[in-house]
Amino acid sequence: MPKALIAAALSLALAGPATALSCLQPNIVAAFSDAAAADEVYVIVQGQFSDGPGPRPGGTTGGEPRSYEAYFSGWTIFANGPEERMNAPVRIVETCTAEWCAELPMDTEVLTFLQRDPDGGKPTLLLNACQGNLFTDPTEEHIEAITTCFEKGCTAS
């Protein structure tokens, strides 16, 4: 068997596990669609989290899921864009997939989806290892996509 063919077969065999752990680029329309289709009620927010535990001691690999409280300061986003000031504690739940764990960036501008507590308690931010519902340094395009989804509806492609 030619060396090039062996090398190609080996690279394909080794690519399987690595690509299984790769995450797709977060998509604001997909995140909005997921939240809109959920049984739970979500609110979209833009701002910063602070007072959390900070980075994971071992980084984002090899850790365990964790839950804690952080303080959010920013705005809720509705059909007209940022509308209502929000300063409140939020329950954070970071999950892990295989070896990879989510980690909420502190003191960084984010746009994300908070799950409302039906009993009026603290909202919850559920972060999976790929963080598909968290957007750091949100752009005007993110806000425009959200307002379009509110106005016309949207589905992820």
The domain ranges of the chain are 25-152
Residue 2 confidence class, pLDDT cut points 50, 70, 90:
very low
pLDDT in tens, 62-112: 788 999 999 999 999 988 877 899 999 999 999 988 888 899 999 999 999
* Residue-level pLDDT at 97: 86
Across residues 126-145, what is the average pLDDT?
91
Between 118 and 59, name the one with better pLDDT: 118
Region 25-152: CATH code = 2.40.50
Mean pLDDT of the residues in the chain: 83
| 23-28 long-range contacts, CB within 8 A, separation 24+ | 23/129, 23/130, 23/131, 23/132, 24/130, 24/132, 26/130, 26/131, 26/132, 26/133, 26/134, 26/135, 27/132, 27/156, 28/111, 28/135, 28/142, 28/145, 28/146
pLDDT at 7 over 60: no
Instruction: Report the SS3 class of residue 9.
Output: helix
Between 131 and 75, name the one with better pLDDT: 75
